[in-house]
Structure 1
């Protein structure tokens, strides 16, 4: 297999802004077909790809080796299952599934069929997160006691899109997977989870709503058959605390934040790191900037984080830390390496399953008001 044929299911934000351009950035990958109702957009942006109206038509194509599942979240499980059963390798946009048991079923199916299964947790390659990871791993902060990660937005009115309707999982399943995955990459599995999940905008009632499955009649091809429901019915706020002994990892997201605070705030016994701003790669992709461009993945110097370290004499040394360069293309480079040379998948599906399990515990914690002790399905503790 000298080149890998890729079929893309869905051409909304995830498919058009992230997956299609990043696939095109890897020479050994070819986008051969897209399932979507947005045929005109595909022809304008990816003229080499055939447009299919149905996901099944892409999955059944002989020239498709890998199926990328980028349709609405509640459809991920069923679409990925059908692709694996058809003998395809599969990439699933986050969130992996809506239930941990669904993720486990896909993992077992992939193993039984001898197919690669991975999940697009692209924000492992955010420049700011890579910077935090380097500082924590290198011991620059000493033992970490408090880790805060925020993903806040200012959208005071719910938009007419499926991600903000009841049944979509709301921001908990849209932005939550990013923050949970990053925390698990840094600190591993937590010992317990506490969460407050709710609806703050419009007519939504305060409290947690369960993320539902795909509604009847939903299409697997893109946003045309996305979940229907009342606007402002989806969760738009969460505050999650993960417990690791004396370490607390605080993960927060809200949609009514006019002036966001730090993106990352990390405190250890030797120092603190504070970083404002968001990784530029999403905005760059929207603007047509691609991997390989001089500015690709580069943070603005005025947004670099500040490291404060306590010296032996008790004084504090403060210095600016240049943000590492972001590199979303590493995901699809890793996918190609895994398929062509037998390398490891860019994201282990079991790690993505753990993210969904934490989100489920967060839902249950918010519903009951209780802290959830983590009992992991494989019997291994956090």
Structure 2
């Protein structure tokens, strides 16, 4: 991917959040406001009273175009329904704004490729919000892998199971482009797998509609196969909406030991409850009440040990982006190549469903 050139910011970076549903209200506005050097300057919403109740000092505009046309806005966050991402991000880039898009970047790889091309032409940043890189359990997993205690990794499972037996009447649950669970949670799990192991040789994907009256896929099971880069490694990515008693969030096995971790990162629930973390004053933010278990081979035989608590910190995504825009970091937290690879992997998964077979992915490296 071609490196873009832009003038680094020296003053606070003024941010507009487009959309004030779950993504904008819970995941973006509080995090932008919690990072020094970023200013939550504008929110686009059709319900200004809801915004003003939460953020009385922030200007509310009724249309995205009003935010894009504002010369004072530097960075735009697209936090709307998936099918709208392409058109809104494209318009923001053409208006000269840097852009964060909530995952998935777009509904199709072709749309993502178009946005990346426009960003290069405009010398503007296009990046995707991958907050699950900053889950406490994922940060812990990276530490465990780096320790070498598991040896060469042979099997990795990542589950994101929930129990949502009643189908809500929201856009994510409707039969419309971009509502598939594979595009939703799959975007997180694919990104994490790529961060850990890189691009696999091939993948297969199975999807299903399991709940009564569901209009879109609410289950997926993906298998990623690795060859020379990780001999014999098999990766399973799985999500379901019909699981009342979840198994491990992560289960990792290698030639030297195994690691298991139960529970989900606590930050989403804390943000839904109204939490407003502040970088530099986090306290117990992101603390994980459940330890992981590491069983590994040592001279005396198998050793079992509890892993330390590693706190998650979604603020680091926006802090990293701030640093990049200020010229203090070499890359955005999610680079153009990573944006492309995740969308391409999601697309190959959809191809696998149609073919009912493994689909090659090695060319995406």
TM bucket, shorter chain = over 0.9
Paired residues of 2:210 and 2:218 also in contact (CA < 8 A): yes
Paired residues of 2:171 and 2:179 also in contact (CA < 8 A): no
Cα distance per residue 1:181-218 (max 9 Å; x no partner): 00000000111011101211124xxxxxxxxxxxxxxx
Secondary structure of the corresponding residue to residue 98 of structure 1: coil
CA RMSD in angstroms comes to: 1.3
Paired residues of 1:197 and 1:235 also in contact (CA < 8 A): yes
**Correspondence 1:1-382 to 2 at 5 A:** 1-167=10-176, 168-203=178-213, 232-245=214-227, 246-291=232-277, 292-300=281-289, 303-312=290-299, 315-343=301-329, 344-374=331-361, 376=363, 380=365
Paired residues of 2:199 and 2:362 also in contact (CA < 8 A): no
Secondary structure of the corresponding residue to residue 341 of structure 1: coil
Q: How has the CA–CA distance of structure 1 residues 342 and 85 changed in structure 2, closer, same or farther, with 3 Å as cutoff?
A: farther
Paired residues of 1:193 and 1:241 also in contact (CA < 8 A): yes
Q: Taking structure 1 as the reference length, what is the TM-score of the superposition?
A: 0.88
Cα distance per residue 1:352-380 (max 9 Å; x no partner): 22111111111111222111011536xx4
Cα distance per residue 1:301-336 (max 9 Å; x no partner): xx10000002245x2110100131111101111111
Q: How has the CA–CA distance of structure 1 residues 160 and 187 changed in structure 2, closer, same or farther, with 3 Å as cutoff?
A: same
Cα distance per residue 1:264-315 (max 9 Å; x no partner): 0000000000000001011111223333342201111xx10000002245x2
CA deviation after TM superposition for structure 1 residue 63, in Å: 1.3
Q: Distance in 1 between matches of 2:308 and 2:271?
A: 22
For these two proteins, the number of residue pairs brought into alignment is 347
Paired residues of 1:266 and 1:273 also in contact (CA < 8 A): yes
CA deviation after TM superposition for structure 1 residue 38, in Å: 2.1
Q: Distance in 2 between matches of 1:244 and 1:137?
A: 19
Return 5+ residue gaps in structure 1 as ranges: 204-231
CA deviation after TM superposition for structure 1 residue 342, in Å: 4.5
Q: Taking structure 2 as the reference length, what is the TM-score of the superposition?
A: 0.92
Q: Distance in 2 between matches of 1:375 and 1:100?
A: 16
Secondary structure of the corresponding residue to residue 288 of structure 1: coil
Q: Distance in 1 between matches of 2:271 and 2:202?
A: 37
Paired residues of 2:200 and 2:362 also in contact (CA < 8 A): no
Return 5+ residue gaps in structure 2 as ranges: 1-9
